[in-house]
Structure 1
């Protein structure tokens, strides 16, 4: 029986490249000359540091552009509150990976309510979809793409 997995993953190499690209843009921009603005990437966090909130907003736009150029989904970043400590302003964005149980239930509910003849099962941080026909699975993929999800989704392990 044909199957595929619905997952939420981010290519770590492309994420690093996007951060590096945004850092180069900050280094070359005239309005950031002499400022202490920077991007940094740790395990599953992107930290944006600057001297003012306005610069943080500018840097967010640069990061969005870098994500789009690298074909990464911007929904993968979960921004926290802007923190101010002395002269430094900091914004932390968590990188979302994996489908949490609430979103997995939403995906399964969406698939079941569509009345397409497939079965959807939650398996850890992914949803496996199984059906008798390849066309039904492609309909499910189209349905998921058209729905407004809070997380970026990809389709893996399509087997016939």
Structure 2
């Protein structure tokens, strides 16, 4: 058994689940007594969500609702990168929440260093915004996945292309 096994470490999210979470959050915001008359809008763009509401207090409540709906749909809260709160026209506030995709170079280097330090017979390599890990033993790959799940990294990790 000389063949090698591998898997990819990526950071991505299911866009349809995000659309569903935003839809559910919008419904709850429109029906909740404390948020009903705030004219709050959640707009999903290509790589960001724009929240517009009446005050910073309601913005905080809207973000809590959005996080709750996202976590119920198995989306990691690490995909949200909250921007600063801006004033909008008519005494309103706006916040842009960027959606994080892909593993940045410095985080990818941190992951490969961790793998090289703890698992000697494994070859991690950075490929664009993903990390590919190869080894002769599938058990070692499983151990790496378990070890990375324990690590608290600033991105949501998924493990794909397991061969």
- Asked whether the two chains share a fold, i.e. TM above 0.5, the reply is yes
CA distance in 1, matches of 2:22, 2:83: 18
2:112 maps to what in 1?
A: 108
2:153 maps to what in 1?
A: 149
Q: How far has the Cα of 1:66 moved from its partner?
A: 0.5
2:134 maps to what in 1?
A: 130
1:17 maps to what in 2?
A: 20
- The question of whether the paired residues in 2 share the 8 Å contact of 1:116 and 1:140 is answered with no
Following superposition, which runs of at least 4 residues in structure 1 exceed 3 angstroms of deviation? none
- Report how many aligned residue pairs link the two structures: 159
CA RMSD of aligned residues (A): 0.9
CA distance in 1, matches of 2:139, 2:120: 10
Question: Superposed, which structure 2 residues align to 1:2-13 within 5 Å?
Answer: 2-13=5-16
Q: How far has the Cα of 1:98 moved from its partner?
A: 0.6
2:100 maps to what in 1?
A: 96
Structure 1 residues without counterparts, runs of 5 or longer: none
1:72 maps to what in 2?
A: 75
Q: Secondary structure at the match of 1:82?
A: strand
CA distance in 2, matches of 1:85, 1:7: 36
CA distance in 1, matches of 2:120, 2:61: 44
Q: How far has the Cα of 1:117 moved from its partner?
A: 1.8
Q: Secondary structure at the match of 2:162?
A: strand
Structure 2 residues without counterparts, runs of 5 or longer: none
- The question of whether the paired residues in 2 share the 8 Å contact of 1:6 and 1:154 is answered with yes
CA distance in 1, matches of 2:106, 2:18: 25
Q: How far has the Cα of 1:116 moved from its partner?
A: 4.2
Q: How far has the Cα of 1:115 moved from its partner?
A: 3.1
